[in-house]
Structure 1
């Protein structure tokens, strides 16, 4: 009886190990989808100043409702470090526009904004977005449009997508939303591009009182 009991115990442990291994294997290969939402800063004044104008401010105040409706609450929000200066009309200013644009959304969702990277540090931003912690996340990125164009193309190229699918971001376009869907699973990675709109053009030229 003792011998038989030992055999049964070994069988039980073997079956349990097999089940645990199968579960771990499934968890490791379960497909994930990362959604990266790219929005340009709002409209800017003559001379730039690193700031938004009143139209840009009004856009930023209405952006939270657009993000909530189309994507829900993001898991992370990124904007460039405002201390990294950028030239507007040949004069360097603290680059506040992107942060000012996404700040109302961060306030709406009671979230921090990650501002570790300067506006031109797209490689570092991409590396952060590709961290495993974001593999199944929705991420909002507010940035400068030329840098967003580069970022979108690089992310698609490096994750099995077609970088040619990304249209150039026009200088007069403050309303587009570039969305990247990166799917990972079973050793395979693919990426898809989608272009949406905020629907917030034509904001008042006067600031809220």
Structure 2
């Protein structure tokens, strides 16, 4: 049967557009949060040799497990100084920890904010740019917990699901999954580990 132009137009108008279908499909964002590597007794805003060895081993873990990220974030080292046992210093540790991974991937590390500017960082991570992406975030562990709690709470979840991060723990990963469905976001948290404890305390030559 041959459709008249008017009938064909009505039939086509009943079909959902590709844009509408895409808009209605939920998207998943995965954010992998990690603490910096081990640090010297004086702090100095820096890693020690064991922390350096962790950073060098980290690309195989992160890329092998989570694949290529869309973006990598760390705090701006000079934006907010850290108070370490030896004094106040620019905060290099998170950036130094994630740099080998970024180098392996040929990617930049985004350092838009100081390590205490977690509200601004939360807005970036919940923005429209990353709603179907994987992101790596290296941060200070206490501020990291606050950041994850803010994201979970802003997504309508219970921020009590985010556990404390022990001061002695350099190995954990907090993997936050955000399912975006229109204006609704659902958050779930999985605690993973790098499996890199006990590395050499001697720097590579």
Instruction: Return the TM-score normalized by structure 1.
Output: 0.92
Per the TM alignment, residue 186 of structure 1 is displaced from its structure 2 partner at its CA by 4.5
Counterpart of 2:138 (choices 123, 142, 153) is 142
RMSD: 1.6
State the TM-score, normalized to the length of structure 2.
Answer: 0.94
Q: Distance in 1 between matches of 2:182 and 2:127?
A: 17
- List aligned pairs for 1:51-70, cutoff 5 A: 51-70=46-65
How far off is 1:144 after superposition?
Answer: 0.1
Query: Which segments of 5 or more consecutive residues in structure 2 lack a partner in the other structure?
Result: none
1:123 to 107, 110, 119: 119
**8 Å CA contact 1:54, 1:205 repeated in 2:** yes
Over alpha carbons, which structure has the higher Rg? 1
Aligned residues of 1:57 and 1:207 also touching (Cα < 8 A):
yes
Query: What stretches of structure 1 move > 4 A for 4+ residues in a row?
Result: none
Matches within 5 A, 1:41-60: 41-60=36-55
Alpha-carbon distance in structure 2 between the residues aligned to 1:13 and 1:100: 60
Residue correspondences, number: 203
1:98 counterpart = 2:94: yes
Q: Give distance in 2, aligned partners of 1:8 and 1:47.
A: 82
The CA distance in 1 between the partners of 2:183 and 2:115, in whole Å, is 32
